[in-house]
Homo-oligomer: A and B are copies of this chain.
Amino acid sequence: MLLENIKVIAFDADDTLWVNEPFFRSAEAKFEQILEKYLGPKDVQKALYDNEVKNLHLFGYGAKGFMLAMIETALELTNYQIAGEDIQKLIIMGKEILSYKIDLYRDVPETLEYLSQRYKVICITKGDLLDQESKVARSGVGDFFDSIHVVNDKKPQTYSKIINSLGVDPSEFLMIGNSLKSDILPVITVGGKAIYIPCEQPWVHEVVSEDKVDKTTFVEISSMSEFLNRVRA
């Protein structure tokens, strides 16, 4: 029984409920294109990634930090010679990420509707506060959530705090998400349950090598539709 003994079901948002990472991957490809006329064909992704990670402690996760990392990386790699017009293009790309049309995965509204009638359903998402709340609002599924928690980071203590505030036992808490690193492993660590629904183009920062993962501690399901079929069965 997938949901036996569960009282609270928490969903990650980006790439669990809707497509998100592909917008970043596509921006990274455009970024590489813009820099090509300065640098020739060169792999600029590593420099961009390094700047993103270097600034995480100041900027946190999300599109604004990504925009600033693109600008810094472009300045550094071109030795500050990049044209103002090209920097403007980076800002426009970032603004597009902040306003993209939400494309829900198949059966997401049906799943949330079904579960919200039977369990307390919440959303736990990482990123910029306004951006994450705006996406939930734009998604049209915000009303299914009892509460929405935008957090800086998804560490074991992040989950403990939320579970405590809900007044349930960790064993009664189920997290559903696409990131082993952020949605699954820290929840298992604090005694919760987790369902892993992988996505197609994860950010390198979220990837955990398979040998570090004990696959017996959580359930892996291929899609939200399959999950819905299994809980309804």
> Are A65 and B64 interface neighbours, CB within 8 A?
yes
Within 8 Å of chain B (Cβ to Cβ): is A68?
yes
Within 8 Å of chain B (Cβ to Cβ): is A84?
yes
Copies of the protein in its oligomer: 2
Which residues of chain B are near A129, meaning CB under 8 Å? 60, 128-129, 150-152
A52-75 toward B: CB 8 Å interface, digit per residue (1/0)?
000100111000110110011001
Within 8 Å of chain B (Cβ to Cβ): is A95?
yes
Within 8 Å of chain B (Cβ to Cβ): is A204?
no
Chain B nearest CB from A79 CB (Å) reads 8
Within 8 Å of chain B (Cβ to Cβ): is A83?
yes
Q: Number of A residues whose C-beta is below 8 Å from B? A: 34
Chain B nearest CB from A58 CB (Å) reads 5
A interface majority secondary structure? helix
Within 8 Å of chain B (Cβ to Cβ): is A133?
yes
Which residues of chain B are near A55, meaning CB under 8 Å? 95
> Are B95 and A85 interface neighbours, CB within 8 A?
no
Within 8 Å of chain B (Cβ to Cβ): is A130?
yes
Within 8 Å of chain B (Cβ to Cβ): is A81?
yes
Within 8 Å of chain B (Cβ to Cβ): is A157?
no
Chain B nearest CB from A151 CB (Å) reads 8
Within 8 Å of chain B (Cβ to Cβ): is A45?
no
Within 8 Å of chain B (Cβ to Cβ): is A6?
no
CB under 8 Å from chain B, chain A span 62-108 = 64-65, 67-68, 71-72, 75, 78-85, 87-88, 91, 94-95, 98-99
